[in-house]
Amino acid sequence: MEIWYSYIRQRRKWVHHYWCNTSLAFLPSINTYIVDVFPSLNEVLFHVSEGACGYGDLHMASYGKHSAGLSSVLFNRGSTCGACLEVRCVDHILWCRQGSPSIVVTATDFCPPNYGLANDYGGWCNIPREHFEMSEAAFAEIAERRADIVPIQYRRVSCIRSGGLRFTVRGNAHFYQVLITNVGLDGEIVAAKVKGSRTGWIPMARNWGQNWQCNVNLEGQPLSFEVTSSSGRTVTSYNVAPKNWQFHQTFEGKQF
């Protein structure tokens, strides 16, 4: 599968990101505890709650400290949400951990560009820079916490999840929305459908991140979901929500 980044020739081949920055001063627009990683200055930042993918509390969503925010080039308008990347620090004797250990992070957030700053001095997420954001704790697993800039490599990997897909129901009687989390395999979702006991399969549109929506009243009906990953695999979870489901409840279905 070569659907992800156009410059990644092979999904499992290491791709160089030249630098990783932990200096908060360089990233004034980002939340506290930010680390960067960048190609020709790509970056890694750290966030452990909320995020542009709509996951909410990342610990509750099972992503925790091993989550990452991505710049525009990598975020791809939210379609990359849920993808897993293996990242390691390389070629820096002083700052990289011995043996260049790697960690796997999940794409959960967006790092916006800041064109008021130069690409190599604060504007880490400016196009076409490839920038990652991670938690400080996760960054410390691959490099020294006090490092300002370190060279890194990354590659796409399969997501290994515990349990099934999770569907969090939101909205109201006229606007139905579901947040899909804990996605294994590719991690990315490209299509989602919902079915009530009195309806056929209803395609949902991406609202933002991994929030999917349709303008149908599904109250009082048991719900089934059909989810398609970026590799084209589809998994169907029948009747995962009972007919008396309530908004803001989360239900677990099958896994890829």
**Predicted confidence (pLDDT) per residue in 87-120, tens digit:** 998 888 888 999 989 999 999 999 899 999 988 7
Residues 116 and 7 reside in one and the same domain = yes
Decide if 104 contacts 85 (C-beta within 8 A): yes
**Predicted confidence (pLDDT) per residue in 17-38, tens digit:** 434 443 332 222 222 234 444 3
DSSP state of 230: T
pLDDT at 50: 62
Residues 92 and 177 reside in one and the same domain = no
Domain housing 198: 166-252
Enumerate residues 6+ apart whose C-beta is below 8 A from 10.
Answer: 2
> Where is pLDDT greater, at 2 or 173?
173
Residues 108 and 17 reside in one and the same domain = yes
Q: How confident is the model at residue 224 (pLDDT cuts 50, 70, 90)?
A: very high
User: CA-to-CA distance for 63 and 184, rounded, in angstroms?
Assistant: 12
Q: How confident is the model at residue 192 (pLDDT cuts 50, 70, 90)?
A: very high
Residues 152 and 207 reside in one and the same domain = no
Residues 138 and 171 reside in one and the same domain = no
Give the global pTM. 0.79
User: CA-to-CA distance for 123 and 130, rounded, in angstroms?
Assistant: 11
What is the phi-psi region of residue 96: left when phi exceeds 0, alpha when psi lies from -120 to 50, beta otherwise?
beta
Number of domains in the chain: 2
Domain-terminating residue out of 157, 176, 207: 157
Instruction: Work out the number of other CB atoms within 10 angstroms of the CB of residue 15.
Output: 19
Which CATH number is 170's domain given?
Answer: 2.60.40.760
Domain-terminating residue out of 126, 157, 188: 157
Residues 129 and 200 reside in one and the same domain = no
Chain mean position to CA 135: 13
Q: Is the pLDDT of residue 174 over 90?
A: no
Residues 76 and 196 reside in one and the same domain = no
Q: Is the pLDDT of residue 254 over 50?
A: yes
Residues 47 and 91 reside in one and the same domain = yes
